[in-house]
Amino acid sequence: MTATAPRITAVDTYDIRFPTSRELDGSDAMNPDPDYSAAYVVLRTDAGDGLEGHGFTFTIGRGNDVQVAAINALRPHLLGRGVEELCTDPGLVNRDLIGDSQLRWLGPEKGVMHMAIGAVVNAVWDLAAKRRGKPLWQLLAHAEPEWLVSQVDFRYIADALTPEEALGLLRARREGLADREAVLLERGYPGYTTSPGWLGYSDEKLTRLARQAVADGFTQIKLKVGADLEDDVRRLRTARAAVGDGIRIAIDANQRWNVGEAIEWTNALAAFDPYWIEEPTSPDDVLGHASVRKGVAPVKVATGEHVQNRIVFKQLLQADAIDVLQIDAARVGGVNENLAILLLAAKFGVPVCPHAGGVGLCELVQHLSMFDYLALSGTTADRVIEYVDHLHEHFEAPVVMRDGHYTAPLAPGFSATMHPESIAEYRYPDGAFWAADLAGTEQAA
Amino acid sequence: MTATAPRITAVDTYDIRFPTSRELDGSDAMNPDPDYSAAYVVLRTDAGDGLEGHGFTFTIGRGNDVQVAAINALRPHLLGRGVEELCTDPGLVNRDLIGDSQLRWLGPEKGVMHMAIGAVVNAVWDLAAKRRGKPLWQLLAHAEPEWLVSQVDFRYIADALTPEEALGLLRARREGLADREAVLLERGYPGYTTSPGWLGYSDEKLTRLARQAVADGFTQIKLKVGADLEDDVRRLRTARAAVGDGIRIAIDANQRWNVGEAIEWTNALAAFDPYWIEEPTSPDDVLGHASVRKGVAPVKVATGEHVQNRIVFKQLLQADAIDVLQIDAARVGGVNENLAILLLAAKFGVPVCPHAGGVGLCELVQHLSMFDYLALSGTTADRVIEYVDHLHEHFEAPVVMRDGHYTAPLAPGFSATMHPESIAEYRYPDGAFWAADLAGTEQAA
């Protein structure tokens, strides 16, 4: 306890990189050699309660330092701010950060600067949930609809969703919330796994991992496609043979194609009944996705992990361009903007199936899907959270999978907190791992 | 002359900031206090010819350091590269930079990372034009259509414009090119001025500057709007009274509005015959712009200074969302992407009226409009380049206005080179101006 109201005393940032490119895991048609990384931020206070707010942007290696520089540029907006005010109304700091007119020029609301805002805003929510002693999903689901609506920035989306409509959606779903929470706590939230489907795996490994996924309780797997059509036909045939007809197989092109190619390529794989085609083309191309969707039905179109903000999601919905909306916890401007996106999806009746994987994305995004289930969608039908078994060991409260489901996290916060030992080891370039690695490289050179 | 083929030996970056926020110039409804800044890059070689490639990203102050960090992240792609190869085919380095899969995650092709690519690519073009001894507009206009098409990345735009169509557009306009060049050299390219219209000017100052603009030969002026409707009505009435009916008055909301507000507000000003409404809403909102265009006709809709890349421009054209396309020389991925955008505009028959102002944007973008006139549009009818009388004195070859027209620059290069004295004075935080200023602030504190 301090005599005066507690304040934010430090905004510490860390450039953390894991050398994942040395294995083949995580490679796809656009990202052959990712080093899964986090531009990580810790908000410290003088509250004396030992609680910190943790957040991060996920990147895949080079440029993680740029992302850290962007978070550093936000520091003056946080330092000295009252902790209680921040945690009672994270929407306030969200608006301040987005509204900094000089920094806004660097987006607006997209790319490096916007992801930095997302990291900081998520750290505020982590702190808020820890102070309330609740996991974030529960804090959100138990919150009053009016307060949730106050957390949303309706600028540029009011033509598709008004505050009144948002309030109506939340109020309508209050009924049965306690029952759904009981179900969630018992069964968890369904996941699907991308682990079998990375490019570069042999057919034997693909078959083995696909069968393992089914044995583990998953009812959907995902395969990366888009590098070579013949290979894709063979791999999809192999996967279908391995899992049988009852399991959904999604395919993911990671933005590899033009619109015309996307339609042709997807249709060439249609015989194997792919459930959705993910990121068929540029995430910026709303009209392109609408054309692809018309051209590949009944295969569904999914996108979102690289969609920059609520404004593009709004248009994807307005243009009937997607069947599945894939939020990402660390791409847009944090929890507040994801609330807007979840509300938009509910308004348009499009299921949300989050992107995850990377480092820490599973940990974060499960909270948003669980809130979606309890407070907005009311169902988990046709809704799955991506799961990849990567790097969970670096988190204090890693996700726990059971029978293909994410179990509801009970630890207070947003599950964003990384072990101090992991930070010390993988901080770039001066953590123990990298210091040794870079010294070795220099010695070899 | 060096014995071996010359290479890039240094990629030097500078954080340059001008304290423009201390005046009222440049303030609008979204940007009340910009400090016009440049994240500046110089490519140095060992060619021994004294030639350097200069480029920059324009920002408005805070975050300029983040932009510099992003340019630094690109350095390994340039260092050691053959100068001749670079200058013969800037498209190659453009594709390399956009294709760096790890850095691509930070966009893709948008925001801080993409603007950094634009700065570097533009610096390559500056060097290429200097080595050829030509101003960039002339290098481009005299180039073979096949080579120009090879400089364009058609990924994600091929559904709207194929390489064959692009080639056809360029070939069709070869006729009469020499005549148009003679006209350009004699008369220049029409400009319009935003100088009278900043928020915060008194009605007397607005009247005086508007009349001065007409006396200076401008046939179009622009007023900032969107902060207060009553004020806007008064200011627009004042401006119309000052210039009469024969002068076009564009209005610019700098993204201030939602879609519905944009339509209402613009229509409330329609009595004063505004020529275009610029940035009525988010630059990301293609469908929103299409709605606004339908709702405010016959007032035209213009946007582009914050449009992130060719993919969004493509959609604005596909959706009939704009009447006027406003390229910016330093927002997208440099000359190569602007070639794609100019070709798209030509295909769709939409006039290009560039955004300029800031620091150095007039210097750069004039080259692109002059190329557009000579090689694509074939006309300057309904085409004007924005002009603001700010900070030109810091450039070695500043724009020269004559009778409301940009005179064609004759100095080799892209007109991007800033005086070394200006860099030394305004480098942040250690240039002479800022060192003194920050010391004064500390002393006062």
Residue A388, helix vs strand vs coil: coil
pLDDT per residue as tens digits for the range A390-437 = 999 999 999 999 999 999 999 999 999 999 999 999 999 999 999 999
Phi/psi at A348 (nearest 5 deg)? Answer: -90, -5
R_g over Cα of chain B: 21
For B309, nearest residue in chain A (alpha carbons):
A284
Q: What percent of chain B has pLDDT over 70?
A: 98
Mutant choice from B96, B102, B311 vs A, greatest count of A C-beta within 10 A: B102
Q: Which domains does chain A have, with CATH numbers?
A: 7-135 (3.30.390.10), 172-421 (3.20.20.120)
Phi/psi at B59 (nearest 5 deg)? Answer: -130, 180
CA gap A208, A89 in Å, rounded: 48
Q: Do residues B25 and B54 touch, judged by C-beta distance below 8 A?
A: no
Q: Which of residues 123-162 of A touch B (CB under 8 A)?
A: 154-156, 158-159
Sign (positive or negative) of CA dihedral A289, A292, A293, A294? positive
From A114, A355, A367, A394, active-site residue: A355
- pLDDT for res B445: 57
B304 CB near a chain A CB, below 8 Å? no
From B224, B289, B300, B347, active-site residue: B224
User: Residue A445 — pLDDT band, cuts 50, 70, 90?
Assistant: low
Helix extents (H) in A89-162 = 90-99, 101-104, 111-132, 136-142, 145-150
CA gap A234, A253 in Å, rounded: 16
Q: Containing H/E element for B12?
A: strand B8-17
User: Which chain A residues have a beta carbon less than 8 Å from that of B308?
Assistant: 110-111, 284
Give me the mean pLDDT over the B373-397 stretch.
97
Give me the mean pLDDT over the A356-379 stretch.
98
Strand partners, B193: B221, B387
CA gap A202, B161 in Å, rounded: 38
- pLDDT for res B232: 97
CA-wise closest residue to B333 among B311, B318, B355: B311
CA gap A269, A67 in Å, rounded: 38
b/e A233-255 (16+ beta carbons within 10 angstroms → b): eebbebbbebbeeebbbbbbbbb
B101 to A259: CB separation less than 8 angstroms, yes or no: no
Question: How far B95 CA sits from the closest chain A CA (Å)?
Answer: 14
A110 contacts: CB under 8 Å, gap ≥ 6:
A308, A309, B110, B111, B284, B308
pLDDT per residue as tens digits for the range A197-250 = 888 889 999 999 999 999 999 999 999 999 999 999 999 999 999 999 999 999
Strand partners, A13: A41
User: Residue A32 — pLDDT band, cuts 50, 70, 90?
Assistant: confident
> Cα B342 from chain centroid?
13
For B255, nearest residue in chain A (alpha carbons):
A156
Q: Do residues A197 and A274 touch, judged by C-beta distance below 8 A?
A: no
Question: How far A319 CA sits from the closest chain B CA (Å)?
Answer: 8
Q: Is-catalytic flag, B110? A: no
ipTM above 0.90, yes or no: yes
Q: Give the max Cα distance, chain A.
A: 69
